[in-house]
Amino acid sequence: MKIGLDVSQTCAERAGCAWYADALSRALITEGLPRGHTFELYHHFGDWINADTKRGTMIDDPRVTAPLRTMNSAAAREFWHEVATGEPLPGKPDVVFSFNFHAPKLPHTKLVYTVHDLAFWMHPAFATDETRLVCQRELLQALARAAGFTFVSQHTQNEFEQILPAWFKLKARPHLLAPGASRFSTSKEAHSRPDSAPWLVVGSLEPRKNHAAALDAYEIYHEHSTLRRPLVLAGGRGWKSAALHARLDEFKARGFPVRYLGYVPDHELAALYASSYALIAPSWHEGFGLPLVEAMTAGLPALASERASLPEVGGSAAIYFPPESPAALADAMLALENEPAAYLPRSAASLERSQAFSWAGTAKSVLEFAGRL
Amino acid sequence: MQVSFILPLYNQLALTRACLASLRATVPASVTHEIILIDNSSTDETREFLQELAPPHVVLLNDRNLGYAAANNRAARVAQGDFLALLNNDLVLEPHWLEPMLAAFASHPRAGVVGNIQLHATSGAVDHAGVVFCDGGYPVHHRGDLAELQAAGGITEFPAVTAACCLVRREWFLRASGFDEGYHNGFEDTDLCLRAREDGFINLVATHSVIRHHISSSAGRGAYEYRNARRFLARWAPRAAALEREWNLKLARDHAALAAQRYFAPLHRKLGFGHRALRRSHRAALMAERRARRASSGRIRIGIDLLRLQPGGANGGIKPFVLTFLAEIARQRGSEFNFALFAPAELRDELAAVLRPGDYLLEPAEGHFTVSLRQPKGWRAAGTLSLADNVAAKAGLDVLYAPFGTSQFMQPGLPCVSLIVDLLHRDLPAALPVEEVNHRHKWFTRVAAEATYFQCDSHYVIGRLCEQYGVNPALCFHTYNAVQDRFPATGSALPAGAPEEPFFFYPANFWPHKNHETLLVAYRLYAQAAASRAWPLVCTGHPDARMDLLRELRDGLGLSDRVIFLGHVRDEAFTALWARAGALVFPSLCEGFGMPLLEAMRFGVPIIAADSSALPEVAGDACVQVDARDPQALAETLRRVAIRTDLKDALIARGHARLAAFSLELEAGRLAHFLAAAARRQAP
């Protein structure tokens, strides 16, 4: 098979969906090349046109080409316009994977559309106008255009069934669960952490991620803890986050050991996981929850919101709390800290749970799925 | 019934008795009337006294002190008379006080609030002969010598009058929602008078109606003076200050003219001097007065830039809105206004209804405008205007009206009224291409700096414009798009493809902010649950590439047979659709007004609307509000409205009642008022 892969999002500052596109593309290529498949990487995809493709995913192999990589944005726009009106894609792929929410018209090839999450419909207040308008339009286009669908979690698929009941039955369209996994290799064994190891929150500062609960809980924790571990936040500045940033400034003024690192590139992220005490994932909603699985591969115990896909990813290894209750989160933080003996078993449970997810496994089932289309 | 007298009461029974006695003694027998006494929970014997009264007295009791404004508003809602005579209870009415005030309405068709002269009850000095402004827009009573005031004219125009004793048409009072209840026993009347001016009325004092007033025997005024003044000045200060300046100029002019006449006229008669012999200053004073009089009554030529108008429905709601308003303004003020309308030639037939004999139509051609003069029968070619010329000056424009906000004819020295329909590029930029966002921002910045007045189609838009572009609120006015009556009352046959059964109706062009995508998803959720009982969904709008895309999305959702896109529909067919529609669903994410809401109210169709932008202001309680971004909430609302007859009936009834707040006459009158004020360079 000739397989087209959308890596457009990997060219910009990467968030969850972009990491998914990067990691799954790499895994598909690793698994696919020995099976005789060849690949095309598209660094612009549909309406997602990049100003600069330099940072985009690249694979150095003659069987993997990147025909759009050197195109500037004007040429790329023109190119996708021609594709929509009948021009075949270069390399004439048999199947094309869309990872970036876009569903362009591809008259000559089969489109497989990845559904990352339906937060824009389930919790519209947690999506920007732009995200909402683009994502819903493109998902609806996918319903009319795609030959198959993949879901990054069972929960996302359940939401799809909830908003579009009986659609799969009606249209008899094939679909597959294609969960994400950690990009980092699993730690060898569980180990304890020093008293100075911080609590860690990973994710850009936007309302859906519920950082406010983490800060509220930390305030309670700080008052009751004897160790007073620091709190570290990693993630882009986000949007609607002015109040959060003001809050962080206030914490700093009050002498709380809270650090906001901004966007952290992935090689530093692995080290950050390795040196932290535990992960806090307080989101109102997630499509998958990459930080949760990645923290678990580093052997971190995780305190996670009980909503959306997080329980599916954390399994029985994580400790859950209702995201509307900072007090419950603070209790969980204090309980974990006050029972040092439980730390190692929790760390081991995380390591074990993280084994349930692997990019190679997902890539294999995706390749098989594509072959059946 | 001709007159409803309204007296709000709070204690002071002795004064009330005296006032009532003087009222009964002075109402002419020929005037049919009622006397509404509304008691704000008096603590003296007032309540016992009120029990003794019989018709024509009507007694209303408030179980607590609602204040002056709310008491009057409540009384106005039950009043029957064509006119409301708003009276304080500490007046002594003198014979023949009512007749001159009624006469003012008869002789002045644009009379708004009519007051009279009030004398201090004990000293007899003139206490009120109209309200003017001082100290930057603070209202004060105009006083003076009774004989001089009466010599100046029987009916004189004032910026405002006191409501201690005034007459106002009930219909307008109710439409304007009466007194602003945000004030506490003060400034309500001046606020009302300025709103009357905004609606195109003038406020008058009937100088031969003279009564006596026990000044400031009313309770509770002083306590709120500061708070009231702040509220008043926040809304009106710059405009009231302009009225103050204008009033002072008028006083100076009148004084100079009077002095010139007094000094010169006797000499002139005695010696037979010619006009040249007038002292230069006297001549100038007389000329200035004559010029001012002419300026406030001469004809105005309004240039209207409709060059961006398109045939069919591509412009959306702005086209019926502007054309209906212009036709109404021509009807109201045709004797005062002439139009010079700039528009593409292919729209000549559509515009014919707006133009009257004497109006010009200017159509762009290569390098020039072709000018045609509207005549009683057809058109007369009236030459051309080169684009190289100053077109506005050559066309003799007194004021420019820019319904698309900006206009190529805007220039220093030419007053301009710009219509701002929304701030979509700021409120929902994601719904526009980035080039369009930048383009709009650029022209908004220019218009905000250069236009004289800003016509906004809701208070919501005024708020957004002032916040986003720093426009002074005093330069803004709202006109609701009350053009719901433009459709014929009876429709043609249903357009081909429309269902016979009740349906959800969404008339809107297929612009991204209209939110058709979420509606489709919500509708599918609803249709799945309601199965065979589900109403179909009908969408109309200018057919374009987006409509084709939405058709594709509909098919992808498996809704091909349930969701119908009809494209652009003519007025008669629209009426037919409204007659059949089960409910209007209006999930738009950003609206400056939302004309279909009024159309639904008119045709008795229940409304489901988004809970954001201007829609709550327009629909009020006559709709089910919903977060239109949330497909599950929207679906649940569709389900509820489709099956619940009691809810539908309540919505229809409330919609019908709400329509009273939207009168084309008043809304267009307000635009006419600001166009005239801009053209004459007067304070609005």
Domain residue spans of chain A: 2-181+358-372, 199-354
In a domain, B248, yes or no: no
Give domain status of residue B474, yes or no.
Answer: yes
Query: Which of the following CATH numbers is that of domain A199-354: 1.10.1200.10, 3.30.70.20, 3.20.20.70, 3.40.50.2000?
Result: 3.40.50.2000
Q: Tell me the residues of chain B between 509 and 568 that have a Cβ less than 8 Å away from chain A.
A: 512, 517-518, 520-521, 524-525, 528, 549, 552-553, 555-558
Nearest C-alpha of chain A: how many angstroms from B569?
Answer: 26
pLDDT of residue B278: 60
Nearest-CA distance B314 → chain A (Å): 22
How high is the mean pLDDT of chain B?
A: 90
pLDDT band at B274 (very low <50, low <70, confident <90, very high): low
State which residues form the domain around B517.
489-661
Residue A341 corresponds to which tokens in the numbers above? 């003996």
Are A6 and A49 a contacting pair, CB within 8 Å? no
Task: State the average pLDDT over residues B374-382.
Answer: 89
Distance in angstroms (rounded) separating the CA atoms of residues A149 and B556: 14
Residue A253 sits at the chain B interface (C-beta within 8 Å) = no
Same domain, B291 and B304: no
Please give the average per-residue pLDDT across B633-649, as a whole number: 96
In degrees rounded to 5, what are phi and psi of residue B588? -60, 145
Q: Please indicate, yes or no, whether residues B275 and B224 belong to a single structural domain of this protein.
A: no
> Residue B297 — very low, low, confident or very high, per pLDDT cuts 50/70/90?
confident
CATH code of B174's domain = 3.90.550.10
Residues B211 and B289 reside in one and the same domain: no
Chain mean position to CA B564: 37
| Residue-level pLDDT at B99 | 92
The answer on pLDDT for B533 being more than 70 is yes
pLDDT tens figures, A39-54:
999 999 999 999 999 9
Domain membership flag for residue B188: yes
Shortest CA gap B516–chain A (Å): 10
Q: How far apart are CA B89 and CA B50, in angstroms?
A: 13
Report the Cα B214 to chain-centroid distance in Å: 35
Kindly state whether residue B184 falls inside one of the protein's structural domains.
yes
* Backbone phi and psi for residue B350, each to the nearest 5 degrees, phi listed first: -65, -30
Q: Do you know the residue count of chain B? A: 684
Q: Please list the residues that pair with B114 across neighbouring strands.
A: B167, B204
Q: How far is CA A358 from the centre of its chain?
A: 14
In a domain, B147, yes or no: yes
Binary contact (B553, A140; C-beta < 8 A): yes
Percent residues over pLDDT 90 in chain A: 89
Radius of gyration of chain A (CA): 21
Q: Do B402 and B497 sit in the same domain of this protein?
A: no
The single-letter code of the amino acid at A198 is P
- Confidence band for A273, pLDDT divided at 50, 70 and 90: very high
pLDDT level of residue B268 (50, 70, 90 thresholds) = low
A221-224 long-range Cβ contacts below 8 angstroms, 24+ apart? A221/A330, A221/A333, A221/A334, A222/A256, A224/A330, A224/A334
For domain A2-181+358-372, give the fold. Rossmann fold (3.40.50)
Is B318 within a domain? yes
**With contact defined as beta carbons under 8 Å apart, do A251 and A222 qualify?**
no
B435 CB neighbours in chain A (<8 A) are none
Mean predicted confidence (pLDDT) in B287-315: 83
In a domain, residue B609? The reply is: yes
**Percent residues over pLDDT 70 in chain B:** 96
Q: Span A137-144, mean pLDDT?
A: 95
Q: If contacts are CB pairs under 8 Å, which of residues 318-347 in chain B contact chain A?
A: none
Q: Does A164 contact B at CB distance below 8 Å?
A: yes
The total of structural domains in chain B comes to 4
Q: Does a structural domain hold residue B247? A: no
What pLDDT, on the 0 to 100 scale, is given for residue A188? 78
Nearest CA to CA, how far is B594 from chain A (Å)?
20
* Residue B416, strand partner residues: B400
Q: Are A140 and B518 inside 8 Å of each other by CB?
A: no
What is the number of CB-based contacts under 8 A between chain A and chain B? 64
pLDDT value at position B215?
A: 74
Residue B618 has pLDDT above 60, yes or no: yes
Query: In A, residues 84-123, which contact B (CB 8 Å cutoff)?
Result: 121
Question: pTM of the prediction?
Answer: 0.84
Asked if A313 and A356 touch (Cβ cutoff 8 Å), the reply is: no
Residues B48 and A103: their CA atoms lie apart, in Å, by 78
Same domain, B465 and B505: no
A143 — contact with chain B (CB < 8 Å)?
A: yes
- Residues in chain A closer than 8 A to B629 (CB atoms): 124-125, 132
Q: In this predicted structure, what is the pLDDT of residue A337?
A: 95
B578 and B522 in a single domain? The answer is yes
Based on the fold, state whether residues B209 and B316 are members of the same structural domain: no
The whole-number pLDDT of residue B146 equals 87
Band the pLDDT of B389: cuts 50, 70, 90.
confident
The length of chain A, given as a count of residues: 373
Cβ separation B524–A164 shorter than 8 A:
yes
pLDDT-above-90 percentage for chain B: 61
> In whole angstroms, what is the distance from residue A317 CA to residue A23 CA?
24
Residue B504's alpha-carbon distances to A262, B143, B195, B498, B598, in angstroms, are 48, 61, 38, 11, 16
Instruction: Reply yes or no on whether the pLDDT at B206 is more than 60.
Output: yes
What's the pLDDT score for residue A90?
A: 85
Q: Do A136 and B517 touch (CB under 8 A)?
A: yes
- The nearest alpha carbon in chain A to B631 belongs to A121
3-state secondary structure B30-88: CCCEEEEEEECCCCCCHHHHHHCCCCCEEEEECCCCCCHHHHHHHHHHHCCCCEEEEEC
Q: Out of A133, A145, A170, whose CB is closest to B558? A: A170
The identity of residue B245, as a single letter, is: R
Residue B206 to residue B150: CA distance in whole angstroms? 9
Distances (CA, A) of B507 to B81, B610, B622, B643: 40, 14, 18, 22
Q: Are residues B26 and B67 in the same domain?
A: yes
Q: What is the C-alpha separation between B336 and B546, in angstroms, rounded?
A: 44
Three-state DSSP at B537 gives strand
- The CATH number given to whatever domain includes residue B650 is 3.40.50.2000
Same domain (yes/no): B199, B131 = yes
Q: Cα separation of B253 and A10, whole Å?
A: 75
C-alpha–C-alpha distance, residues B417 and B400, integer Å: 6
Of all residues in chain A, the percent with pLDDT exceeding 70 is 100
Residue-wise pLDDT tens digits, A179-191: 999 988 888 788 8
Cβ neighbours of A307 (radius 10 Å)? 19
Q: Flag if B556 and A164 touch (Cβ within 8 Å).
A: no
Instruction: Tell the residue number behind the tokens 């803890």, with chain if given.
Output: A225
- From A253-257, B65-69, B562-566, the region with the lowest mean pLDDT: B65-69
φ/ψ of residue B37, rounded to 5: -110, 120
Is A2-181+358-372's fold the same as A199-354's? yes
Nearest alpha-carbon partner for B158 in B136, B134, B129: B129
Using CA coordinates, name the residue in chain A closest to B524.
A164
Residue A339 makes CB contacts below 8 A (sequence gap 6+) with none
Both B588 and B558 in one domain: the answer is yes
- Give B320-367 as a DSSP string: HHHHHHHHHHHHHHTTTEEEEEE--GGGHHHHTTT--TT-EEEEEETT
Average pLDDT over residues B137-143: 90
Q: Are B117 and B158 in contact (CB under 8 A)?
A: no
B217 pLDDT higher than 60: no
- On chain B, the residues whose CB falls within 8 A of the CB of A167 are 557-558
Same domain (yes/no): B19, B116: yes
pLDDT digits (tens, 9 = 90+) for B42-86: 888 888 888 888 888 888 888 888 889 999 999 999 999 999 999
Together in a domain, B238 and B95: yes
Q: pLDDT-derived band of residue A197, with 50, 70 and 90 as boundaries?
A: very high
Torsions phi, psi for B124 (to 5 deg): 80, 0
pLDDT over 60 (residue A328): yes
